[in-house]
Amino acid sequence: MRSPDAEVVVVGLGVFGAAALWQLAAAGVNAVGVDQFTPGHGFGSSHGGTRMFRTACLEHPDLVPLARRSGQLWQELALAAGENLFEPTGGVLIGPRAGHVVAGTVAAARRHGLDVEVWNAAEVRDRLPRHAGIGDHHAAVWEPAAGLIAAEAAVRAAVRVAVGLGARALTGTRVTRIELVAGGALVHTADGGALRAGRVVVAAGAWLPTLLPAIPLRVLRVPITWFRPGDPADADRYGLADVPVFIRELDDGTCVWGHGVHSGGELKLGLEDHGGLLREMGPDGDDRQVTAADWAPLVRRLGVALPGLDPVPSRAAVCMYPMTPDRQFVLGSPGDDTRLIVAGGDSGHGFKHATGVGEVVADLVRGAPPPVPVAFMHPDRW
């Protein structure tokens, strides 16, 4: 039997895989990362210029400890990379006081003792005048610790720091199959070769269902859009101080998310779940062109909630969301077979947690107990 090429092979160097490679290398594990593209590419789920960071996570009560730890690790990565990867802007969650966004955020903050402020409708109107249509039944939760992560730069930094710590990164190498064998795993590649390792971490994002079809994931096509003020003279009125990182639940139940001008004079804005109109796409598909039909549901709501913007986006792109049935991540070993660890299913809210996920992966590889709750993300929960 030939000797292994590494202790661990990490398949996929999007944000989950890049963070895992960094944490494995930092722990002294001999690791190789493999990706069909170059880290920081725009074909998967880890691009878009910026990603929101917040700790008051309403998606699951046990996500707050992971978010807190991830925030610490983002700072560590930035220091190790010598780059400013995180911009603390503060963030706000707005909506009907009894709606899931505000009520869920307040519940998460109270349960975990987070530093937040709750504003009534009058305070929201006074502090955030760019947000229109704030009814008396609305409220907001302000989280000072929220901010923006530089998306592509963060992925590239994690891989670069990992390589500096002794990891290897094989780019332009497509993985076609994972084979579990005695004593470890074989990672087969499109060129006919295979990497042997004691363990394999599959963090392939939208390609995860291709490699591990037993994991129940749908890959959803998500348009992402940037807008400019309708009057160029108003650009200074839509900065991050005026339109900080936000999620806003509207009275029709849909949620607009985004942030004010960060660079290039543009606001990044989107509609959660695209108003229920998301459709599935193959990760290798060519359905990446964005048309007026993609941004129309968002623009209709912006006219009411955040008026004054040009209704035609200044640019647009497509991101892919690997979505699980319960919208939580997949993190752990299927069947508790420690030769294989899965880290994926970001379900549209995973980027901010990536550094914490990477640390959990490194702990699982080394047989150490993770520092945060992870049982609710186990791949066997269905």
Q: Are strands 340-344 and 194-202 parallel, antiparallel or unpaired?
A: parallel
Say yes or no: 129 and 258 in one domain.
Answer: yes
The model's pLDDT over 162-178, given as tens digits with 9 standing for 90+, comes to 999 999 999 999 999 99
The model's pLDDT over 82-100, given as tens digits with 9 standing for 90+, comes to 999 999 999 999 999 999 9
Residue type, 285: G
User: Read out DSSP for 207-222?
Assistant: GHHHH-TTS--EEEEE
| DSSP-assigned letter for residue 289 | -
For 44, list phi and psi in degrees, rounded to 5. -120, -120
Q: Are strands 91-96 and 245-249 parallel, antiparallel or unpaired?
A: parallel
Say yes or no: 115 and 96 in one domain.
Answer: yes
Residue 375 corresponds to which tokens in the numbers above?
């049982």
Q: Lowest mean pLDDT of 92-106, 117-131, 275-289, name the range.
A: 275-289
Domain boundary among 276, 297, 321: 321
Residue 73 corresponds to which tokens in the numbers above?
């690790």
Closest CA to 354 of 84, 154, 109: 154
Which secondary structure element, helix H or strand E, spans residue 295, and what is its range?
helix 292-305
Instruction: Supply the range of the domain harboring residue 270.
Output: 90-148+218-321
Say yes or no: 270 and 158 in one domain.
Answer: no
pLDDT-derived band of residue 2, with 50, 70 and 90 as boundaries? low
pTM for the whole thing?
A: 0.96
Rounded mean pLDDT, 47-59: 96
| Average pLDDT taken over every residue of the chain | 95
Say yes or no: 121 and 236 in one domain.
Answer: yes
Q: What residue has token string 């939760």?
A: 141
Say yes or no: 203 and 225 in one domain.
Answer: no
The SS3 call for residue 204 is: coil
Say yes or no: 239 and 140 in one domain.
Answer: yes
The SS3 call for residue 299 is: helix
**Within 13 Å and on the Cβ side, how many CA atoms surround 314?**
16
